Amino acid sequence: MEHQQGGQEPGQYQLPGCYRHQDRETGIRCTRCERPICPECMIAASVGYQCPECVRGGSGTGHSAGASRPRTIAGGTMVGDTRLVTKVLLAINVTVFVAVLATGRDLVEQLAMLGLARADGPFDPFSPPEMLGVADGEWYRLITSAFLHQEFWHIGFNMMALWFLGPPLEAALGRARFLTLYLLSALGGNVLTYWLMAQNVMSLGASGAIFGLFGATAVLMRRMRYDMRPIAVLLGVNLVITFVPGLNIAWQAHLGGLIVGAIVAYAMVHAPRERRALVQWGACALLAVLLVTLTIARTINLLG
C-alpha cells in the first residue's frame, strides 16, 4: 500500500516545504518573493515575514550598490514611518472638524454630499431658484464630504477606525497605494449615495473611506492567510449597526466604500509581479473612470 510523505492520508491537503528546508512544512510565505519559509527562515518585516535572501537583496548585502530597496507585498517601497499618510488624513479630518465648530452650519452646507436641492432664500417669481449640489456642478462635494463631521462621536469613531486600520494597510501597500485606496473608497461611497439617497438630503463623514479600509483589510488578511475571524466579526458588527433603523446612517456610503475598497485592495495584492504596477494603477484608473461615468449618468438623470 502506498503512503504519502509525512504520513498524510490520501487526498489530504499537504502544506509546502520551506524553500531552504524542504522537510519542514509551513503555511507562511515571504511577502516579497512568496516562497514558503519555516520559522528558522522568517525575518520579521513591517507586514508579515521575509526570507533571508530578500532581506539581503533589499539591504544590498552581497549585491551591487544598485540593489533594489525592500518592497511591500503590493510592490510599494518600505519606509520607516508607516503611519505618515494615516496621520495626515487624520489631521485633515480633525482640522476640518474644528473649522466646522468655529463656523457653524455654513461650512457643512458648502461641503457636504448633496445631490440637488434648492438653496434657502426668499421666493422670487421673476428668476429661477438657486440650486445646490453635485448635479449643479459642485462635484467637489463627492470628496470634501468625506472629510466633514459635525458630532464628536462621529469623528471619534471614524478616526479611531482610521488609526487602527490605516497603519497596517499603509505598511502593506505603500503610501501612494494606500492614499489611492482611501480616496477611491471615499469617492465610491459618495457615488453610491448620489444614486440611492434622496437628492435633497445631505450626508457627510469619512465612513465610506473607513469601510473601504475594512474591505481592504479583509482582502489583505486573506491574501496573507491570516485568521479571518477577527475582521469578519468586526465588519459584521459594523454592517449590522449600519442598517439599524433610526440611526440615520448613510448605508449607501458604507456599502459603496466597502465594495470599492475591496476591489482596489484585490488589484493591489493579487497583481502579477511581472506587470504589477500596470495592473494596479490600470485597475484604479478604470475604477475611477467608472465612478465618474456613474456620476455623470446620475447628473443627467436628475437634470432630466
Active-site annotation holder among 46, 149, 254, 270: 254
Q: Which residues contact 157 (CB under 8 A, 6 or more apart)?
A: none
Grid cell listed for 218? 479583509
Find, among 283, 263, 286, 264, the residue nearest to 275 by Cα: 283
Instruction: Give yes or no for a contact between 145 and 51, defined as CB atoms under 8 angstroms apart.
Output: no
Grid cell listed for 108? 457643512
Q: Which residues contact 93 (CB under 8 A, 6 or more apart)?
A: 147, 149, 155, 158, 159, 162, 206
Q: DSSP assignment of 236-274, as one string?
A: HHHHHHHT-TTS---HHHHHHHHHHHHHHHHHHHHS-GG
E runs forming strands in the chain: 43-44, 49-50, 117-118, 131-132
Element (H, E) at 139: none
Find, among 258, 257, 276, the residue nearest to 267 by Cα: 276
Instruction: Give yes or no for a contact between 158 and 257, defined as CB atoms under 8 angstroms apart.
Output: no
- 207 counts as catalytic: yes
- 149 counts as catalytic: no
Active-site annotation holder among 145, 185, 203, 207: 207
Q: Which residue has the cell 449590522?
A: 240
Catalytic residues: 207, 254
